[in-house]
């Protein structure tokens, strides 16, 4: 009986796929895409407010005018000039750029500070627009959908215990990582083409990957190439140079770098964390605008954004998050939290923290159990139950939620740490912290011929920051700097 329905069912699938086929504007190949142009634009419009709320926009009229001018020029020569492109600088110190379907392209102020000429910027701009024109998000979504279906079918047909499903899922993740690397490489090629078409030397795009590699190596967060969604920046350095050389050989022209123009444009850009958004110093988090502080355990890593502050030890067994709470009272905030996070409250009580009214919740959050889930997976889910200690603190006209998270098994041993942090939440009154100014990139002129290190010493930069400044300037200590060369220094 099963065989009678197989042919019509497969025919239906084939017809559906054919109807979803479209020609890729970059490659010219026909491919299955389950996202229309209108859906891409709608996704970008829906995503933009979240990007802005989580990162904030960096207000610099001159820089914003520059990226929009170059972005619109590149959009016109792209494979999809009809999209409503928009270009933004987000207020983040992280060195990054990213694109959202439908034409939204974002650069962090961190990456803008690390570019050393317009050509480097143009190469990355072309790379990000390339993700949009080649429809990488839509293609990735389609691959994930088909891959997931394949894994689910395999779990039903091949194994009832779930063991093969786990292996298949791992295989799927690696396959999708490889696919993402293919997208990145394709966007590198598009970046060379687009930046060259608007007149810039794409060799500078390759040089910027050397900067990325230095940042990656310094952070210690480099991962094996096989497990990275991006190709190794050292490999990209070589490949992009080869692509730039081939493009310029086939299209002889005078390609611009425009170093001095760019350097003058970023003079004064904020570098690193902006203190007014909060900063960590001597194991303490300070927020000058909101006027509070609390301790950060020694050795914990941390990440700050306009929406929340996260921190935790490197091994990742526990974490703490500070965020705003919804509600006009502690009771209302607690009720909203329990409802939104689907919490099972184990304990709750009122208290005060350094004179501030507070409410403490101990709760658990378990993933919803799916019907028919194998017993082995049910046991694994129970073992990984998330337990949360939440301190709701009423401070000024706001209520803050400070969450301590760990597995239920480790919660008791972690609770003292969570409690010490929450108990250290207090008013910030130190005028030095309240009036802290951000560091900024300043552009200066080399006074004489010297090495980069000698130049930085002559400009009174501390020896401990020479490597950091070298990365910022894309130079090494022994590199020769000619008299009159514009260089970046860091100053408040």
Residues 191-222: tens digit of each pLDDT: 999 999 999 999 999 999 999 989 888 865 43
Position 157 pLDDT exceeds 70: no
- Name the least confident of 147-156, 214-223, 279-288: 147-156
pLDDT at 168 over 70: no
Average pLDDT, integer, range 309-314: 92
At 216 the pLDDT is: 83
Give the pLDDT confidence of 84-117 residue by residue, as tens digits. Answer: 999 999 999 989 998 888 999 999 999 999 999 9
Q: Is 207 exposed, middle or buried (0-12, 13-18, 19+ CB in 10 A)?
A: buried
Judge whether 135 and 33 are in contact, CB under 8 Å: yes
Instruction: Please enumerate in sequence order all residues whose Cβ is within 8 A of that of 445, keeping only pairs 6 or more positions apart, or say none.
Output: 484, 485, 486, 487
Averaged pLDDT, 298-305: 90
Cα angle vertex 167, ends 164, 173, to 5°? 140
Better-predicted residue by pLDDT, 2 or 398: 398
More confident residue, 195 or 54: 195
Which residues 6+ apart lie within 8 Å of 228 measured at CB? 177, 181
Question: For the segment 316-343, what is each residue's pLDDT rounded down to a tens digit?
Answer: 889 999 999 999 999 999 999 999 888 9
436-478 per-position pLDDT tens digit: 999 999 999 999 999 999 999 999 999 999 999 999 999 999 9
- Tell which wins on pLDDT, 292 or 55: 292
User: Is 91 in contact with 58 (CB distance < 8 Å)?
Assistant: yes
Tens digits of per-residue pLDDT, 57-77?
999 999 999 999 999 999 999
pTM value?
A: 0.77
- In whole angstroms, give the CA distance from residue 459 to residue 159: 67
Q: 13: pLDDT confidence band, cut at 50, 70 and 90?
A: very low
User: Mean pLDDT across the stretch 222-227?
Assistant: 36
Confidence bin at 175 (pLDDT 50/70/90): very low
User: Taking all residues of the chain, what is their mean pLDDT, rounded to a whole number?
Assistant: 83
């Amino acid at each position: 009986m099963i065989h009678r329905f197989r042919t019509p069912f497969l025919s239906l699938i084939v017809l559906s796929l054919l109807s979803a086929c479209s020609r890729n504007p970059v490659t010219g190949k026909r491919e299955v895409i389950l996202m229309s142009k209108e859906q891409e634009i709608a996704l970008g419009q829906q995503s933009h407010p979240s990007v802005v709320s989580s990162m904030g926009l960096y207000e610099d009229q001159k820089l914003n005018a520059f990226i929009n001018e170059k972005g619109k020029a590149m959009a016109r020569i792209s494979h999809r000039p009809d999209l409503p492109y928009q270009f933004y600088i987000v207020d983040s110190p992280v060195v990054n750029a990213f694109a959202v379907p439908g034409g939204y392209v974002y650069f962090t102020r961190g990456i803008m500070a690390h570019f050393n000429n317009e050509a480097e910027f143009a190469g990355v701009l072309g790379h990000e627009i390339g993700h949009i024109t080649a429809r990488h998000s839509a293609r990735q979504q389609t691959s994930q959908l088909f891959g997931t279906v394949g894994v689910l079918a395999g779990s039903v047909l091949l194994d009832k215990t779930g063991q093969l499903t786990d292996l298949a899922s791992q295989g799927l993740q690696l396959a999708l990582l490889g696919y993402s690397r293919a997208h990145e490489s394709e966007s590198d090629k598009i970046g060379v083409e687009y930046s060259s078409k608007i007149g810039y030397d794409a060799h500078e795009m390759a040089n910027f990957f050397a900067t990325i590699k230095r940042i990656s190596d310094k952070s210690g967060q480099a991962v094996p190439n096989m497990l990275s969604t991006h190709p190794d920046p050292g490999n990209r350095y070589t490949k992009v140079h080869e692509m730039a050389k081939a493009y310029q050989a086939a299209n002889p022209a005078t390609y611009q770098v425009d170093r001095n123009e760019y350097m003058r444009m970023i003079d004064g850009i904020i570098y690193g964390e902006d203190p007014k958004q909060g900063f960590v110093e001597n194991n303490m988090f300070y927020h000058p605008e909101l006027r509070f502080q609390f301790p950060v355990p020694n050795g914990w890593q941390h990440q700050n954004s306009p929406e929340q502050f996260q921190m935790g030890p490197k091994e990742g067994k526990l974490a703490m998050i500070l965020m705003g709470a919804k509600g006009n009272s502690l009771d209302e905030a607690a009720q909203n939290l329990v409802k939104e996070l689907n919490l099972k409250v184990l304990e709750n009580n009122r208290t005060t923290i350094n004179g501030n009214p507070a409410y403490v919740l101990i709760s658990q959050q378990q993933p919803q159990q799916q019907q028919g889930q194998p017993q082995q997976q049910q046991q694994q889910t129970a073992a990984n139950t998330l337990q949360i200690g939440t301190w709701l603190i009423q401070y000024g006209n706001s209520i803050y939620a400070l969450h301590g998270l760990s597995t239920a098994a480790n919660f008791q041993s972690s609770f003292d740490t969570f409690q010490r942090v929450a108990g250290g939440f207090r008013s910030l009154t130190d005028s030095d912290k309240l009036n802290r100014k951000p560091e900024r990139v300043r552009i200066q002129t080399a006074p004489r011929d010297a090495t980069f290190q000698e130049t930085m010493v002559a400009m009174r930069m501390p020896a401990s920051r020479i490597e950091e400044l070298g990365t910022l300037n894309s130079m090494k200590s022994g590199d020769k700097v000619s008299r009159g060369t514009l260089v970046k220094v860091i100053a408040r």
